[in-house]
Amino acid sequence: MINLLDLNQNEIHNLLDDKPYRSSQVFQWIYKKAITDINQMTNIAKNMRTKLAEKATIVYPELIERQVSEDTTEKYAYRLNDGNVIESVLIPDKDHWTICVSSQVGCSLGCKFCYTGRMGFVRNLMPSEIIAQVLYPMRAFPQKNIRNVVFMGMGEPLLNYDSVVRAVQIITDVKGPGISTRRVTVSSCGIIPGLKTLWRDTHAALAISLNAPTDQQRSAIMPINTKYPLNDLLGVLREYPLPRRRRITMEYVLLKGVNDSLEDARNLVRVLSGIKAKINLIPFNQWPGAPFQTPDKASVEAFEAYLKSSPLTVMMRREKGQDILAACGQLAGGRVNEQSRTC
């Protein structure tokens, strides 16, 4: 049976075979009001609801665990219909919340500093399984001002391109959740074919998991660099069609003794020349069995200070949710304790 959460408005129209305004009504029920039952569509005639229910349904993944960090960050584990588990994170800020969503079960890229990479790749998520990670907390906690969505959870978004693009288009639709494209960010390790069309298809913000200023360093911690070398990636980013005031975020995970020296900082400034970029520094977040360490505070501060003396804009990410393994690079849905059900 068709899951309506997988459909855009045109596909809903084709399914209904009715007047155009009807598909708009159904679309709003599903994505703006986040209903879970077709019979809740009270402005749709009962006979039409019955016909729709004969061929379609609204299916959310099952929430099996909700953890709350000491800093109020929340991590959610969802069991999918096939039994796989994914995780997403709700991150607090001063006056709003950000949802960090997953796009795959596991990940095939094997970045050495990422806990998810140890899971390996299981499968891509359907649009419904991505969108549900946004709609569930919006429906469950209407008092929270959920304003941003970041594709920085489990998986490489651009290796699930079609589902991610559809999810972005739906969550930014004014008849749906209506989240601004400026507040939706897709993070990628640098899958060049997807980067060439992402702006055209979504107008979402872009973040690149860079993490090293040379090919040798990057290939050692990110195997994808052997397929899409640094110079090729940077060339595509220099041509990326951003509006004048937008910037590409360069995510740089600082690993002790690997990429955190002043020479690395100097090389980073050099290779980013000519790119409309801002740098997001992320001191490594420890996870069980991690082969790296968090840099010393002095090293982090020296690295940050050098970058700030350059023309680049620099931010230091203050990680949240580390006590529940909800920080950057710590998600691993396959390792969730399914006996704990705190939702």
pLDDT per position as a tens digit, 54-100: 999 999 999 999 999 888 899 999 999 999 999 999 999 888 999 99
The answer on 80 and 186 residing in a single domain is: yes
> Annotated catalytic, 156?
no
Asked if residue 88 and residue 51 are part of one domain, the reply reads no
Domains identified in the chain, total number: 2
59: tokens are: 């299916």
The token duo for 297 is: 């505070």
Same structural domain, 44 and 68:
no
Report pLDDT digits (tens) over 266-316.
999 999 999 999 999 999 988 888 899 999 999 999 999 999 999 999 998
Question: Which one has a higher pLDDT value, 324 or 268?
Answer: 268
Domain shared by 47 and 94, yes or no: no
CA-to-CA separations, 118 to 122, 243, 330, in angstroms, rounded: 11, 37, 10
DSSP-derived letter for residue 125 is: P
Same domain, 166 and 253: yes
Compute the distance between CA of residue 291 and CA of residue 288 in angstroms, rounded to an integer: 9
- Assess whether 18 and 82 both reside in one domain: no
Q: Which domain covers residue 10, as residue numbers?
A: 2-57
Is residue 265 within 8 A of residue 300, CB to CB? The reply is no
Q: Is position 343 within any domain?
A: no
Whether residue 102 sits in one domain with residue 227? yes
Asked about 87 being catalytic, the answer comes back as yes
From 87, 129, 156, 304, the catalytic residue: 87
Residue with tokens 């304790």: 337
In a domain, 341, yes or no: no
User: 131 with 20, same domain?
Assistant: no
In a domain, 317, yes or no: yes
**Measured between alpha carbons, how far is 225 from 185 in angstroms, rounded to an integer?**
22
Q: Are residues 304 and 201 in the same domain?
A: yes
Whichever domain contains 165, its CATH number is 3.20.20.70
Residues 45 and 154 in one domain: no
Q: What is the CATH number of the domain that holds 42?
A: 1.10.150.530
Residues 77 and 200 in one domain: yes
pLDDT in tens, 2-24: 999 999 999 999 998 887 889 99
201 and 281, same domain (yes or no):
yes
- Considering only CA atoms, which of 79, 37, 29, 32 is closest in space to residue 58? 37
* Percent helix, percent strand, percent coil in the chain, to nearest 5: 40, 20, 40
DSSP codes joined into one string, 271-338 = HTTTS-EEEEEEEPPP-TT-S--PPPHHHHHHHHHHHHTSSSEEEE-----GGGT-STT---GGG--T
